[in-house]
Structure 1
Amino acid sequence: MEKTYHGHIIERAIHYIVENYRSQPSLEEVSKHVHLSKYHFQRLFHEWAGVTPKQFLQYITVEHAKKCLYEGQSTLATAYEVGLSGNGRLHDMFIKIESCTPGEFQKRGEGLVLKYQVIDSPFGKLVIAESDLGITQMEFLKENTSPIELLESIFPEACFRQELGTYGQMVRDYFTNWKIPEKQIVLDLRGTPFQVSVWKALLSVPSAQFVAYGDIAKAINKPNAVRAVGTAIGKNPIAYLIPCHRVIRETGEMGGYGWGKDKKYLINGFENVQLRNKRIA
């Protein structure tokens, strides 16, 4: 799919810019890194992101993350006040959470029938697994990784059918037209009560905003559980829809990401550009 291919090119370019932002790489340097002419790369980047590579750089550097954090934009209180609706974001009002009981969680999929399929997104291929209740797993698929083997490692007792479920189709449509779905996307979360509380809190973080682990700990009324919150975020089963990519370290640094730091920069950079374009419009 051409859109996915272009997404990979932009992701590689972002990685290069992030690694070399202190030297302010030129358009020619970045375009050479992704093996495109600077004119083709400039046009592709602007078409995909809505800004030039030089402008995009301003939004994805670590200094920008620090600025957002220290200006107070990272607190959940601020997040509630400045929440956006529209393109580039799925707010919690568009996502409904169903969670299994602790007993069902421990069974690791016993008796569960899951529909699964791989779809394209601007940020890479996604494997989606869906139960009768809703999406229960959504992960960026790493290169040379079998989707069924990945899912079987998570749900060893489940049965699988290769087809896209109702909510998976809604996710695919969203990545195609960037329109908020009219109906709620239901998530069937399988985790401990603490993990589910952390994942729910993440849904309140608006697009292009950052929160620290401590902010999430306070939001679930467990301010001393910062380390446990970090562990729960690392086990987030629903990529992108539950926006763990918006969580940064207390120092303002981006930190890691379960599906790769480059992808985290890619998604946050994209959301920053969407926010900027919405403010200009």
Structure 2
Amino acid sequence: MSADETASRHYAIVARAIAFIRSHAGGQPSLEEIAAAVHLSPAHLQRVFAAWAGISPKRFLQYLTKEYARQQLADSANLLDVTLDAGLGSPSRLHELMVSCEAMTPGEIKAAARGIDIGHGIAPTPFGDALVAWTARGVCHFAFGTGDEASLLAELRSLWPAATLQRDDAQAQRWMERIFPAVPTRGRVHLVLRGTNFQVKVWEALIRIEPGRILSYGQLARELGMPRAPRAVGSALAANTIGYLIPCHRVIRERGEVGDYRWGSARKLAMLGREAARHGERASASPAPTGAA
């Protein structure tokens, strides 16, 4: 079993654990109770979390509390400006994935990508199997599986009805290895964005957000110079079809709730927890009580 397949299998366990914790938040479930809910021994669950997130289950769950989320939001003043000043090569990152992007022209959008060849394939990731699609210019679609494979492919076809689609799972696997390297390394991924000017502006701002950091819909709207438009910002996030690389999972509600996510709220929590574990230790000198977000 490859490293990606192992991470994907471990994610399935983590997702079930998160779902159990969220549904039993008031009871502050113990490691033994969580392990029993996912049909593992406590020691086995401990090993899975350590392999997948790099920390213990208890520490991982501390990153999923509302208390931790609210503290992070309080620390996020002028976050976009700070991140932009630091540049995308911030030395605090363990994985120097440099994401750049370009928007399709109105003419290209109107033509619905007529004449464009789009490669696509499904491969494992640390957050479950995902469909990635690309053109000669870069990644144009990234969607996590939430049902059967047919629905993933149908969505891709509906978004690019005039394009020529070519299945290539081997190339998709290579894309995943660039996006989720087993060993932290420098890499670059270029995105091809299709959306309105406003949507593209929101997505470009999100790309500048450093892993391990979060902000609210209102904070993002204010940073974009549109303080009265958090709902419009939320709509732009909902329209994003390039998951993870355009990190809409890093935007949560003002009061610390995780909020909705196109590919499932449990997956969003898993992403936030894993990123916090890998990048956010510097901001967690005072751990919050274990519990659910």
TM-score, normalisation: structure 1: 0.88
Match status 1:56 vs 2:55? no
Q: Which amino acid aligns with 2:270?
A: L
Unaligned runs of 5+ in 1: none
Q: Which residue of 2 aligns with 1:158?
A: 163
Q: CA deviation at 1:33?
A: 0.8
Q: CA deviation at 1:15?
A: 2.1
Aligned length: 276
Q: Which residue of 2 aligns with 1:190?
A: 194
Match status 1:118 vs 2:122? yes
Name the CA shift for 1:276/1:209 in 2 (closer, same or farther; >3 Å). Answer: closer
Q: Which amino acid aligns with 1:172?
A: E
Secondary structure of 2:259's aligned partner: coil
Secondary structure of 1:86's aligned partner: coil
1:28 to 27, 32, 35: 32
2:267 to 250, 263, 267: 263
2:186 to 181, 188, 191: 181
Name the CA shift for 1:143/1:178 in 2 (closer, same or farther; >3 Å). Answer: farther
Unaligned runs of 5+ in 2: 285-293
Query: What is the root-mean-square deviation of aligned Cα atoms in Å?
Result: 2.5
Name the CA shift for 1:61/1:114 in 2 (closer, same or farther; >3 Å). Answer: same
- After TM superposition, the runs of 4+ consecutive aligned structure 1 residues lying more than 6 A away are 165-168
TM-score, normalisation: structure 2: 0.85
Matches within 5 A, 1:136-155: 136-146=140-150, 147-155=152-160
Checking the alignment, whether the CA contact within 8 Å between 2:31 and 2:42 is kept in structure 1 is yes
**Matches of 1:277 and 1:131, distance apart in 2:** 37
Compare 244-253 and 259-268 and name the one that shifted more. 244-253
Q: Which amino acid aligns with 1:24?
A: Q
Secondary structure of 2:178's aligned partner: helix
- 1:31-81 deviation per Cα after TM superposition (whole angstroms, max 9, x unaligned): 011111122112222232222212221111122111211344574345457
Match status 1:211 vs 2:215? yes
Bigger RCO (CA 8 Å, 6+ sep): 2
**Matches of 1:278 and 1:222, distance apart in 2:** 30
Q: CA deviation at 1:86?
A: 3.0
